[in-house]
């Protein structure tokens, strides 16, 4: 089969790997508009469920990803500079550039033809392809060309956000909410290697305008943000220089949905097919799970239309719950000012349970303010992680 993936992000690269692993004879090409190493964003978070999927589907790249990833086991919430809560959590984080580098080398090693600086405007040059995978990201040009078939819906979030890096190493996954006179503004931050953290800064449009971000240049913007968050950044710098793509812009989150994920021999995948708000940190995982889903359907059905239909049904269904959770999370962040007049602990509770909470969750949060119980919970998390890593055959560090 001749397969062309338009877009060399996690979706396109991982699908190309699985297509080659399924059948070496598949002729697989990835077309990427940027040069090698050029990409947006900083580190991304993920959890054990993705690591399990990676090990099940390609242990070679899974091992590299797991070894390269940083781990965090604590979440902290700061309100107006004060610690509101510190609780356990359990996740991984990895630089997007590092992830792409691992997948690129693996795909290349399996014989995938990766062509850089190859921007696809239309598909006429690829008319002989059996399958075209449109994995060209949130602003997918291929999706746009066939929007009536895919029945695309795009909604824009009301908050402004900017995806930055910082040399402040946040060992815990940290939320910090500040209230300068202009209004509420906050960040989501976590380290993804020993030197650098992701720092996504978000605020309502009104705060953004009152702080003058629409008129400030990129460097003045950074200096202003460093000043607003000086308590948590502790003298460290924010970075906005992307790899080969200029300076990070302020954006509004775009929620993408498609009623249909295929048209003729074109399949949508990853952000081209759907987005989930960045506050639940799942877009990369879902892009990879789409790739796994399509590769499996192609193995199970020799007939392409049947495989594409099954892929469409399976993945759209799988996304329903997480899209709902993402919407709740995005709405929580769009209503921050209405939560901040509670006690700091209640505020942190609504934040940490923004995807839905149980009657016990507040009591558990109260109890976990005691460092002894927090230590016990952390020990449990760490043991569970070790057991899972042994089950999948990866080298998990023994829990302390």
Ligand X SMILES: Cc1cc2nc3c(=O)[nH]c(=O)nc-3n(C[C@H](O)[C@H](O)[C@H](O)COP(=O)(O)OP(=O)(O)OC[C@H]3O[C@@H](n4cnc5c(N)ncnc54)[C@H](O)[C@@H]3O)c2cc1C
Binder among 3, 4, 6, 225 for ligand X (CB under 6 A)? 6
Q: Using CB under 6 A, which of the segments 43-51, 67-75, 258-266, 334-342 binds ligand X?
A: 43-51
Across the chain, the runs of DSSP E, i.e. the strands, are: 2-6, 27-31, 43-46, 70-79, 82-95, 113-115, 131-134, 152-156, 160-166, 173-178, 185-191, 197-203, 238-239, 254-258, 262-263, 266-268
Binder among 15, 187, 278, 333 for ligand X (CB under 6 A)? 278
Q: Using CB under 6 A, which of the segments 18-26, 79-87, 129-137, 259-267 binds ligand X?
A: 129-137
Binder among 282, 289, 368, 394 for ligand X (CB under 6 A)? 282
Total count of residues recorded for the chain: 400
CB of 311 to ligand X, least distance (A): 15
Distance CA 4, CA 55 (A): 25
Q: Please tell me whether residue 187 adopts helix, strand or coil conformation.
A: strand
Binder among 3, 9, 184, 248 for ligand X (CB under 6 A)? 9
Q: What secondary structure letter does DSSP report for 234?
A: T
Beta carbon nearer to ligand X, 139 or 306: 139
Q: Calculate ∠ Cα 21-67-169, nearest 5°.
A: 135
Distance CA 7, CA 118 (A): 9
Work out whether 88 is an interface residue with ligand X (CB under 6 A): no
Beta carbon nearer to ligand X, 277 or 385: 277
CB of 90 to ligand X, least distance (A): 15
Rg (CA), the chain: 22
The edge-to-edge listing of strands for the beta sheet with 131-134 is: 113-115, 27-31, 2-6, 131-134, 266-268, 262-263
Work out whether 285 is an interface residue with ligand X (CB under 6 A): yes
Beta carbon nearer to ligand X, 72 or 368: 72
Work out whether 32 is an interface residue with ligand X (CB under 6 A): yes
Beta carbon nearer to ligand X, 135 or 365: 135
Work out whether 41 is an interface residue with ligand X (CB under 6 A): yes
Distance CA 199, CA 43 (A): 9
List 76's β-bridge partners, or say none: 86, 174
| 138-197 positions binding ligand X, by CB under 6 A | 141, 163
CB of 266 to ligand X, least distance (A): 13
Distance CA 288, CA 202 (A): 26
b vs e for 175-203, b when ≥16 Cβ sit within 10 Å of the residue's Cβ? bbbbbeebbbbbbbbbbbeeebbbbbbbb
Binder among 10, 89, 183, 293 for ligand X (CB under 6 A)? 10
Give the x-and-dash track for 241-270 against ligand X (CB under 6 A).
Answer: -----------------------------x
Work out whether 31 is an interface residue with ligand X (CB under 6 A): yes
Work out whether 293 is an interface residue with ligand X (CB under 6 A): no
Q: Using CB under 6 A, which of the segments 6-14, 57-65, 78-86, 165-173 binds ligand X?
A: 6-14
Residue with tokens 């908050």: 159
CB of 46 to ligand X, least distance (A): 5
> Under the rule (CB under 6 A), what is the footprint of ligand X?
6-12, 31-34, 41, 44-46, 119-120, 135-137, 141, 163, 200, 270-271, 278, 281-285, 287
């Amino acid at each position: 089969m001749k397969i062309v993936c338009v877009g060399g992000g996690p979706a396109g690269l991982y699908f190309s790997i699985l297509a080659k692993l399924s059948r070496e004879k598949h002729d697989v090409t990835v077309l990427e508009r940027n040069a090698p190493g050029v990409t947006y964003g900083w580190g991304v978070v993920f959890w054990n469920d993705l690591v399990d999927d990676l090990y099940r589907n390609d242990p070679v790249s899974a091992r590299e990803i797991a070894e390269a990833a940083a781990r965090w086991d604590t979440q902290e919430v700061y309100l107006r500079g004060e610690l509101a809560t510190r609780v356990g959590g359990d996740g991984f984080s990895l630089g997007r550039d590092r992830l792409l580098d691992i997948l690129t080398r693996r795909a290349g090693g399996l014989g995938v033809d990766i062509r850089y600086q190859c921007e696809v405007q239309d598909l006429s040059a690829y008319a002989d392809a059996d399958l075209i995978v449109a994995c060209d990201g949130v602003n997918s040009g291929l999706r746009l060309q066939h929007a009536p078939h895919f029945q695309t819906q795009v909604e824009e979030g009301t908050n402004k956000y900017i995806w930055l890096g910082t040399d402040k190493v946040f060992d815990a996954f940290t939320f910090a909410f500040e209230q300068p006179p202009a209004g509420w503004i906050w960040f989501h931050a976590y380290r993804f290697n020993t030197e650098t953290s992701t720092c996504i800064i978000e605020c309502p449009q009104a705060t953004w305008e009152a702080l003058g971000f629409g008129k400030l240049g990129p460097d003045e913007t950074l200096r202003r943000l460093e000043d607003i968050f000086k308590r948590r950044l502790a003298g460290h710098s924010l970075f906005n220089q992307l790899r080969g793509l200029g300076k990070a812009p302020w954006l509004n989150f775009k929620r993408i949905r498609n009623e249909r994920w295929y048209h003729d021999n074109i399949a949508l995948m990853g952000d081209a097919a759907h987005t989930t708000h960045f506050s639940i940190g799942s877009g990369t995982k879902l892009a990879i799970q789409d790739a796994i889903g399509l590769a499996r359907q192609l193995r199970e059905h020799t007939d392409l239309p049947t495989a594409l239909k099954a892929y469409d049904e399976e993945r759209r269904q799988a996304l329903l719950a997480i899209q709902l959770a993402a919407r709740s999370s995005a709405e929580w962040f769009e209503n921050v000012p209405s939560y901040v007049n509670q006690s700091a602990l209640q505020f942190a509770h609504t934040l940490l349970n923004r995807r839905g909470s149980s009657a016990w969750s507040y009591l558990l949060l109260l109890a976990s303010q005691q460092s002894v119980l927090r230590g016990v919970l952390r020990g449990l998390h760490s043991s569970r992680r070790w057991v899972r890593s042994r089950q999948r055959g990866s080298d998990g560090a023994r829990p302390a």
